[in-house]
A and B are shown apart, each in its own frame.
Chain A
C-alpha cells in the first residue's frame, strides 16, 4: 500500500512538470444564492458547433477540462432548470490554466426543463444523484418533501418499519452509514417517524447517495454515504413558507443580508403526530423537532464562498406505545465551509470545512435515564482538486477527534460508565484518469493514523467506468475497495422495538493481551450498467458483493432478557438492484427492484454445546430478500397526483420451539410446589423464520393556487391507503405484535411567497 501511495505521488510530481496544453476550470454556481450546481454539464464546442470536449461539474460545482489546445471555442454550461450559458472563449496555449466561473440563472420556463429524463450525468458505481425535484416528487405527508422518503424508495435500502429511523443499506447496519451536510457529519439524520429526516426539500440543493463502493474522499464508514449539499440563502430575493399537516408544521425563510453578498436560511419543524393521532383513535407517542440556520457569504466572483450552519434536532417516543421504553435522541451540528478557486495556482479548487457534531441518545425517564450514550466529533477537512495533463487529482487532509461517554445499566458492556476519545489524522488521494474517450479509471487511497488506537491504516479504493460507444448515458461502472470504521454503534437488533445505540470504539481486539483493537472492516466489489434510451427512459442494474468483519452483535441466548454480552460476527451481503425511470411531459415513474442476501457468521462459546459446531451462519433481522418500489406521478387538471407502492419480503425473526419453566438442580432440590420456575424459551436457532411480507400504497394529490401575494399549496393523501396490516416488530416472548401505521389520511396546507 505504501508503494501505491508513493506511485501516486510520483504521478502527481511528473505530471505537474509535463503540462503543455491548457486546462479550463471553474466553479458553476446558482446566480441566486451562489450554491454550487453539482453535475452541471460543461461542453466545449468548436466554432462550427462540433463537440470538442466536455465534462461534468462535481458535487462542489467544480469542473475542469484538460488538454485543450489553443484556439477559439464556444463554451456551453447547462443545468436542469437553469438558463444555458453560452460564450465564446479564446484559449491561449501560453497559459497553463484558464479559469471560467459560471453563474446560471433559473430559467423562466424551468418547469419544462425539469421534466426531462436522464440528464446523462456520469455517476460512479453505487452512486445515485438526488436532485431537489426528486425529493419534491414524493408522497410525503407534509407540505414539503423529505429526503428520508426518497432514500427509502431506493432498492437496497431496508427499513425495518415506519418508526425508529434506522436504515440498513445493502446489508450494512445503520451505524455504518455516513451522512454529511455541507461536509459536517450528522449521526442520526432520520427522525423517529420514518418518513422524515432533518432534510426537507427547502434545505437541499442536491445529494449524492452511495450504497457502497464510494471513493477515497469518504472515510470512517463501511456501508453507505449520503453527502448532502445544502442550499444557500438567496442573495437577492426573500423567500418564505409556512406549512401545516397532521404530521408536522414547518416554518421556512431565506433572505439576503447584504444583497448579492450574503444571505441566511432559517427553518424549524415540529411534529404533530403525537396530537393528531388521537383523531385516529390511538395515540402515537412520537415527537420530533428540528431547527436549522445557515449563513452564507460570497467572497468573490471566482466562486469563493463561505457558509456556516447550525442544526439541532430532537426526537422522543415509544416505539411500542403501551409497554415500550421511551427513547430520546438529539443531534447538534455546527459547521463552517469555505470553498473557492485560485485563478493563479495549480490547485484549482479547494474547500476547507470545520465542524462539530454531537449525538446523545438515551432510554428511560428524562431525569434519570437507564442508559445514555453520547458521541461528539470535531473534524477539520481540507479538500483540493488539481488537474494535470493526463489526469485530475482529488486529494485532501483531515483530522478529527471523537469523544465517547456512556452510562449504561449492564447493557452490552461490563463497564457501566466510561469516557474515552479517539484522535485520527489522515489524508486521501484519488486520481481521475481518462483513457481515451471511453474509459476512466479512478484509483485512490486513504491513509488514517490513529493515536493510541488501531495504528496507521491504508485503504485502497478503485473505481472505473467504461462507455462502450463513448456516449453519455451508456456506462459500465465498477468499484472496489477496502473500508474501515473506527467507531461502532452497539444496538440490540434482536429487538426492532429498541433503537438505543451505544457509540464506542470497536470492542473487538486482534490481540486482547496487547489491547490491539480492530476496526470494522469491509471489502466491496460493485459492477453496474446504466443506459439512457431516448429522451424519456433510462435504466440501471448493479450487482454487489460486500463482506464485513468485526461486526458487533448480541450474543445468542435462551435467557429471557434483553441485556446480553457482545459477540463478533462476519457479514456477507450480495445482490443486485434494478431501476427503471421514465419521464415525459408531466408524467414520471420509477420502478426499483432489489434482491439481496445478507448473512452473518458468528462463533460463540455456547455453540459447541448448543449445535455441536463452533460457528453459525444466519440471516440478520434486516435481511430483506426482495424489495420493490414503484413511484409514479402526473399532473392532471392542474393537480399533481403521486402514488408510491412499496413491497418487501418478510424480515427474519426468531420462532422458538416453545416455552417451558426451567428448574436448575445445583446444590439443592428444586421446589416445584411453590416456585413457578424460570420461564425459558426453547430456541432452535435465532432468526430461523420470516415475518409476513410488507407492502403499502401511499397516495397524494396536490395543487398549487396562486393568490394575490402568496402561493397556496394544498395536498391531501393517505399513508397505507388500503390499510395493509404490516408488522413493525414481534416480541416472541410476550407474543406482542406491533404493527406499522394503518390507513392514515393526511392534509397539508402550505403558504409561501408567490
Chain B
C-alpha cells in the first residue's frame, strides 16, 4: 500500500520469475496519463478589453494536466490585433502567485498591454505557443454612453440613499455601488469597503426605451452583510458608482445553473481554446447629485480606474 508516484518497475521480473513469462508481457503497463491534453486547444483566456481603460489585462492559462499550476514559466505569446487598422501590439507577461495550504505556491499569468481600445472597434486577442497552436477571441468594444443622473433623496440626509437613472446603453452588465463605511460591531469600531451589485440585487428596472432606473438604499442590506446586531451600526462615509456596458459577447448566465456555467463550451468565445474575453466600457462616478443651473445633471466621471472596485469586499446574501 505504498504511495508510489513513479511509473512501475519491471526490470527485475525476468530475473526473479522466469517461470512466469506471461507476466513479463503484461507487467510493463502501469502508467496513468493524468489528462488527455488536446494540443489544438492550448489556452484558456479570460479577461476584458475596456474602452475606458488605459491598461488591458488578460489571464492566459495553458490547459494543464493538474488541478493547480505550480510552474512559473509559460510558453505563450499574446497579441492584440486591431481588426480595422491591422495594427498588432504584444502583451507583456506578469507572473502572479497565491499560497495554497502552508507553503505551496500556485502561479498564474496575466498578460497586460498599456493601450487604449476604441469603442465600436473590433479586436482579436490571440495567445500562441511555440508549437504553433493558438487560442483567440474576437472582441467588439461597446460604444460610449451617457453618464447616469444621480438624485439624492432630499428628505433623507443619509449618504447612499438616492436614485440613479440613465439612458439606454448597449447592455448594462455591471452597476455597483462601492461604499466606504464605518462599522461598530460588538463594541469595536472599524472602517470597511463594501461593494454591492445592484444588478445582483435585482434593483435595476428598465423602461420601454431601455432607460434604466435604480433606487439605492443599501444601509440595512450592509447591516445584514456585516451580521450586525441591535447595538451595532454601519455608517456610510462615501459611495461611488462603478458601472460597465457590455455587448452581445457578455454572457447571459441568469438561466444557467452553476454546473452548466462550468462546462467549457457553454460560456466561451475563444476559438481553439476555452474561456471568455469580453469588450466593456466602464465608468466610475461619484454617488451624489451634480447641479447645473438648478438642474440635476450627470456628474463627471472620476479619474480612478475601474479596477479599484476590486479593492472592495464583495459580500452577498442569498435571500435576495
Using a CB–CB cutoff of 8 Å, the interface residues on chain A facing chain B are 162-163, 277, 282, 284, 286, 320-322, 557-560, 605-606, 609-610, 645, 647, 653, 655-674, 676-677, 679-682, 684, 689, 691-693, 695, 697, 721-728, 730, 732-742
A163-B1, A322-B3, A664-B253 as given contacts; A655 in contact with B33, CB under 8 Å: yes
Closest 7 CB pairs of A and B: A660-B44, A658-B63, A725-B8, A672-B59, A558-B262, A667-B200, A692-B30
A669 to B32: give the CA distance in the assembly, Å.
Answer: 38
CB distance from B160 to the nearest CB of A (A): 19
A321 to B4: give the CA distance in the assembly, Å.
Answer: 12
B35–A659 CB distance below 8 A? yes
CB distance from A693 to the nearest CB of B (A): 6
A674 to B263: give the CA distance in the assembly, Å.
Answer: 23
What 20 new A-B contacts, CB under 8 Å, besides A559-B262, A739-B3? A277-B1, A657-B37, A657-B38, A658-B37, A659-B63, A660-B44, A661-B69, A663-B59, A665-B253, A666-B261, A668-B197, A669-B280, A669-B309, A670-B47, A676-B108, A677-B108, A679-B68, A724-B27, A725-B8, A728-B1
Interfacial chain A residues near B260, Cβ < 8 Å: 606, 609-610
Interfacial chain B residues near A558, Cβ < 8 Å: 259, 262-263
Interfacial chain A residues near B176, Cβ < 8 Å: 668
A665–B67 CB distance below 8 A? no
Please, how many residues of chain B have a CB less than 8 angstroms from a CB on the other chain?
79
A657-B36, A667-B199 as given contacts; A606 in contact with B110, CB under 8 Å: no
Q: Is B65 an interface residue (CB 8 A)?
A: yes
Interfacial chain B residues near A734, Cβ < 8 Å: 66-67
Interfacial chain A residues near B26, Cβ < 8 Å: 647, 693, 695
A606-B257, A742-B2 as given contacts; A673 in contact with B23, CB under 8 Å: no
Q: Is B137 an interface residue (CB 8 A)?
A: no
B262–A680 CB distance below 8 A? yes
Interfacial chain B residues near A684, Cβ < 8 Å: 36
A673–B307 CB distance below 8 A? yes
Interfacial chain A residues near B29, Cβ < 8 Å: 692-693
Interfacial chain B residues near A741, Cβ < 8 Å: 1
- B3's partner among A277, A321, A670, A695 (CB-CB below 8 A) is A321
A121 to B69: give the CA distance in the assembly, Å.
Answer: 62
Interfacial chain A residues near B314, Cβ < 8 Å: 668
B174–A667 CB distance below 8 A? yes
- A671's partner among B68, B254, B310 (CB-CB below 8 A) is B310
Which of B143-151, B270-278, B294-302 forms part of the interface with chain A? Answer: B270-278
A526 to B267: give the CA distance in the assembly, Å.
Answer: 49
B34–A655 CB distance below 8 A? yes
A557–B174 CB distance below 8 A? no
Q: Is B85 an interface residue (CB 8 A)?
A: no
- A673's partner among B96, B106, B174, B275 (CB-CB below 8 A) is B96
Using a CB–CB cutoff of 8 Å, the interface residues on chain B facing chain A are 1-5, 8-9, 12-13, 16-17, 20, 23, 26-27, 29-38, 41, 44, 46-48, 57-59, 61, 63-69, 96, 98, 106, 108, 110, 173-174, 176, 197, 199-200, 244, 250-251, 253-254, 256-264, 266-267, 274-276, 278, 280, 282, 306-307, 309-310, 314
- B64's partner among A559, A660, A730 (CB-CB below 8 A) is A660
B35–A658 CB distance below 8 A? yes
Enumerate 29 A-B pairs (CB-CB under 8 Å) in ascending A order: A559-B262, A606-B259, A655-B35, A655-B36, A657-B36, A658-B38, A659-B35, A659-B64, A660-B274, A661-B59, A661-B69, A665-B251, A665-B278, A666-B253, A668-B200, A669-B48, A669-B306, A672-B46, A674-B96, A680-B264, A681-B67, A682-B63, A682-B274, A689-B33, A689-B36, A722-B16, A723-B9, A724-B27, A739-B1
Interfacial chain B residues near A162, Cβ < 8 Å: 1
Interfacial chain A residues near B258, Cβ < 8 Å: 559
Of all chain A residues, the one with the shortest Cβ separation from B8 is A725
CB distance from B35 to the nearest CB of A (A): 5
A735–B66 CB distance below 8 A? yes
A664-B253, A671-B310, A684-B36 as given contacts; A739 in contact with B4, CB under 8 Å: yes
Interfacial chain B residues near A663, Cβ < 8 Å: 46, 59, 275-276
Interfacial chain B residues near A320, Cβ < 8 Å: 3
- B61's partner among A660, A724, A726 (CB-CB below 8 A) is A660
B263–A672 CB distance below 8 A? no
Of all chain A residues, the one with the shortest Cβ separation from B58 is A672
- B2's partner among A282, A610, A666, A730 (CB-CB below 8 A) is A282
Of all chain A residues, the one with the shortest Cβ separation from B33 is A655
A673-B310, A725-B30 as given contacts; A657 in contact with B35, CB under 8 Å: yes
Of all chain B residues, the one with the shortest Cβ separation from A691 is B32
Interfacial chain A residues near B309, Cβ < 8 Å: 668-669
Interfacial chain B residues near A722, Cβ < 8 Å: 13, 16-17, 20, 23, 27
Interfacial chain B residues near A163, Cβ < 8 Å: 1
Interfacial chain A residues near B35, Cβ < 8 Å: 655-659, 732
B3–A668 CB distance below 8 A? no
B31–A692 CB distance below 8 A? yes
A560–B34 CB distance below 8 A? no
CB distance from B271 to the nearest CB of A (A): 16
- Of the candidates A558, A665, A738, the one having the most CB atoms from chain B within 10 angstroms of its own CB is A665
CB distance from A576 to the nearest CB of B (A): 22
Interfacial chain A residues near B266, Cβ < 8 Å: 609
A692–B3 CB distance below 8 A? no
A692–B197 CB distance below 8 A? no
A697 to B197: give the CA distance in the assembly, Å.
Answer: 64
Of all chain B residues, the one with the shortest Cβ separation from A277 is B1
A609 to B268: give the CA distance in the assembly, Å.
Answer: 13
Interfacial chain B residues near A691, Cβ < 8 Å: 32
CB distance from B26 to the nearest CB of A (A): 6
- B108's partner among A661, A724, A735, A742 (CB-CB below 8 A) is A661
CB distance from A317 to the nearest CB of B (A): 10
A659 to B70: give the CA distance in the assembly, Å.
Answer: 13
CB distance from B27 to the nearest CB of A (A): 6
B9–A560 CB distance below 8 A? no
Interfacial chain B residues near A610, Cβ < 8 Å: 260, 263
A676–B98 CB distance below 8 A? yes
A322-B3, A658-B37, A676-B108 as given contacts; A724 in contact with B8, CB under 8 Å: yes
- A658's partner among B59, B64, B278 (CB-CB below 8 A) is B64
Of all chain B residues, the one with the shortest Cβ separation from A655 is B36
A667–B197 CB distance below 8 A? yes
